[in-house]
Chains A and B, each alone.
Chain A
Amino acid sequence: MASTTSIRGGGSADAVYKKSWARRMGPTGIIMEITKYVLLIGLAFSFMLPFYWMASSALKNDDQVYTYPPVWFPNPRLWNNFGEAWTIKNFNQMTFNTVVRYAIPATFGTLLSSTLVAYGFARVNWKGRDALFAVVLATMMIPFQVRLVPLFIIFKNLGWLNSYKPLVVPAFFASPFFIFLLRQFFKTIPIELSDAAKIDGASELDILFRIILPLSKPALTVVALFSLLGCWNDYLGPLIYANKEPDWTLALGVNGLANTLYESGMKTMVYPYLMAVSTIITIPVLIAFFFAQRSFIEGIALTGLKG
């Protein structure tokens, strides 16, 4: 048994420790370690494969798409495909639709309403609070299909079809998932802070805005991220309410591009252009994920652990 302090023949303690690692693990231990990493790397590889295929295919031309064996490293690399594919349909307009008309207003509404409602459920003591919260959670189990048709009819009667109002306005009424997330977080803030403020004469709103919110930046970031991501990825919502091409989101646009290319019958550059556009709309998700990895993952873990 080598100890970390013994030094033999002038070698460093660290080196001796590492050398004995293999000896301490024993043959079965080493096999387990190797299997572990083989599994991990193999899985990681196959998980990333679709993304690599997407990005590399974006650079292909038709010859490289319809060849066998498959081309893994396109040569020449057609970087122009990205620009060309982007202009086939009005993707700039679609980006505007997705971000300015949908994601940002909806996220604003979500943050506003979810904060208020979560505060009411977390930091104010009132009769029936917990029972009503159970109802909030129960509504999460209602399948969207049950509300789909009547909501459509309501929005039709309001004249809100072919606009983003049906998607943005409900965000101002707080959705259960975000209420739950923020409530869990608000409950972790020590009650003494609220009590001290109340002694000083603060109202609940004061407490919310001056004490709770500044402490809640991580949770609010999670809510904002999830909301933005949800809007970016949303397909069915815009499909129903933003169906005309000028109103399309990017998700609808990519699908529309696919249909256009297939129907054109020419079959040229279908896959490269589709892959190019798909890559472009995945990049913001990748960037957001890199910058906010911890927020993302902690946010999801938060819902699962206390759920």
Chain B
Amino acid sequence: MTAWIYRPTRLSRQEFRNQVTGILFVMPWILGFLTWTIIPLLSSMYYSFTRYDLLRPPVFIGIQNYTNFLTDDDFMTAARNTIWWVLLSTPSGVISAFLMAALLNTKIKGRSGFRAIFFFPSIIPSIVTATVFAYLLNIQYGAVDSVLRLLGLHAIPFLSNPDWAKPTLLLINMWAQGGAMVIFLATLQDVPRELLEAATVDGANTLQKFWSITIPMCSPVILFNMLMAFISGFQNFDLPWLLTQGGPNKATEFISLFLYRNAFLYLQMGKASALAWVLFIVIVIFTVALFRSSARWVYYRTE
């Protein structure tokens, strides 16, 4: 930018007016940012160094909240579950969304109908998902296990067995990937047709074209959806809370549930704040790692 070299010392009258106008328009966000983001972030940092139960004033205890986590079994369980969830739900969600979109992108009749069917589960209230699947996957009365029994197989304890609970949540998560799927569908339609046609002429088959042209062309959006999946994965609350309440046997106790309990049931605001900051730092680390790795596999068309 040449402006760095030569800069007028004063804004022209029009530029000054624009500056004021711009900031005025954006003022609602600025005020909101200060009130609902900066101030809470700073106070959260402060509370994380205290013991605070809302009834008595906060008591400063230094880094005790943080060091306690190292010996806290419940914390370790929650942390392990959360990492498991993020590392598995991100690829499984993104891949299933992408494959569904790829399937929808082919020449088929009734595409909008199928698209609607695949998209709808992603917009229903979480409580509905929870109640329906609680019944559907019930080991005694649910349809799925009954069908399994009819086929002569063992009934699967989807929600009552600690080893099955998280994978079950994973499957439900893949069922609700409509949002990501729609984004992928739009991207897939942007893949340059000439490239695919040229490849066909050169004798590439469908799989080769998919792997070597379609996927690289979509890689920026794949990165975007992975990032979104990551961030929401770390914050996963509704379904584990409503469907399994963190069980069975703490199998689905994720950090967000652990935090909610500590804050609102045990009234340990200090501990909860420290927990939130640990989560934040972990998210930042994971996000940076994701972006670093992206340089190797993401292809931006402008380069």
A: which residues have CB within 8 A of B?
36-37, 39-40, 43-44, 47-51, 53-54, 57, 65-66, 68-70, 72, 113, 116-117, 119-121, 124-127, 129, 132, 135-136, 139-154, 156, 170, 172-174, 179, 204, 229, 232-233, 235-236, 240, 250-252, 254-255, 258, 271, 274-275, 278, 281-282, 285-286, 289, 293, 296-297, 300-301, 303-305, 307
Contact = CB atoms under 8 A, between A and B. Distances in A.
Contact of B235 (A136, A143, A229, A301): A143
Contacts of A154: 39-40, 43
Contacts of A305: 183, 186-187, 190, 221
Contacts of B117: 44, 47-48
A274 B170 CA distance: 24
Contacts of A120: 21-26
B84 to A, nearest CB: 17
Contact of B287 (A70, A136, A141, A289): A141
A274 B131 CA distance: 7
A150 B126 contact: no
Given A274-B131, A297-B182, A305-B183, A124 B25 contact: yes
Interface in B111-147: 112, 114-121, 123-128, 130-133, 135-136, 140-143, 146-147
A143 B235 CA distance: 6
B26 A132 contact: yes
Interface stretch (B30-38, B161-169, B194-202, B292-300): B30-38
Given A297-B182, A301-B186, A145 B235 contact: yes
A127 B19 contact: yes
Among B32, B118, B119: residue with most chain A CB under 10 A: B32
B112 A293 contact: yes
Interface of B: 11, 15, 18-19, 21-26, 28-29, 31-33, 35-37, 39-41, 43-44, 47, 54, 100, 103, 106, 108, 112, 114-121, 123-128, 130-133, 135-136, 140-143, 146-147, 149-150, 175, 179-180, 182-187, 190, 221, 224-225, 231, 234-235, 237-238, 242, 255-256, 259, 263-264, 269, 272-273, 275-277, 279-280, 283, 287
A271 B256 contact: no
A150 B131 contact: no
Given A143-B276, A145-B256, A145-B279, A66 B141 contact: yes
B275 to A, nearest CB: 7
B103 A47 contact: no
B126 A258 contact: no
B23 A126 contact: yes
B33 A139 contact: yes
Contacts of A121: 25-26
Contacts of A255: 127, 130, 242
A145 B255 contact: yes
B231 A117 contact: no
22 contacts: A43-B100, A47-B118, A50-B121, A66-B140, A66-B141, A70-B141, A120-B24, A126-B21, A141-B231, A143-B234, A145-B255, A146-B277, A150-B39, A173-B31, A236-B238, A251-B127, A252-B127, A274-B131, A301-B185, A304-B187, A305-B187, A307-B224
Nearest to A286: B120
Contacts of A252: 127
B128 A146 contact: no
A44 B120 CA distance: 11
For B23, B28, B146, the residue with the greatest tally of chain A CB atoms inside 10 Å of its CB is B28
B186 to A, nearest CB: 4
A149 B114 contact: no
Contacts of B136: 49-50, 53
Contacts of A148: 259, 263, 272, 276
A179 B29 contact: yes
Contacts of B18: 124-126
Contacts of A44: 114, 117-118
A189 to B, nearest CB: 16
A53 B263 contact: no
A255 B245 CA distance: 12
A251 B108 contact: no
Contacts of B114: 40, 44
A171 to B, nearest CB: 9
A97 to B, nearest CB: 14
A124 to B, nearest CB: 4
Contact of B237 (A39, A236, A258): A236
A304 B224 contact: yes
Q: Which 9 A-B residue pairings sit nearest by Cβ, starting from the closest?
A: A173-B32, A120-B25, A304-B183, A126-B22, A301-B186, A150-B40, A120-B26, A150-B43, A124-B22
A117 B25 contact: yes
Contacts of B179: 300
B169 to A, nearest CB: 14
Contact of B116 (A68, A275, A293): A293
A204 B182 contact: no
A235 B127 contact: yes
B135 A271 contact: yes
Nearest to A172: B28
Contact of B26 (A57, A117, A293, A300): A117
Nearest to A145: B276
Nearest to A166: B36
Contacts of B276: 143, 145-146, 148-149
Nearest to B137: A50
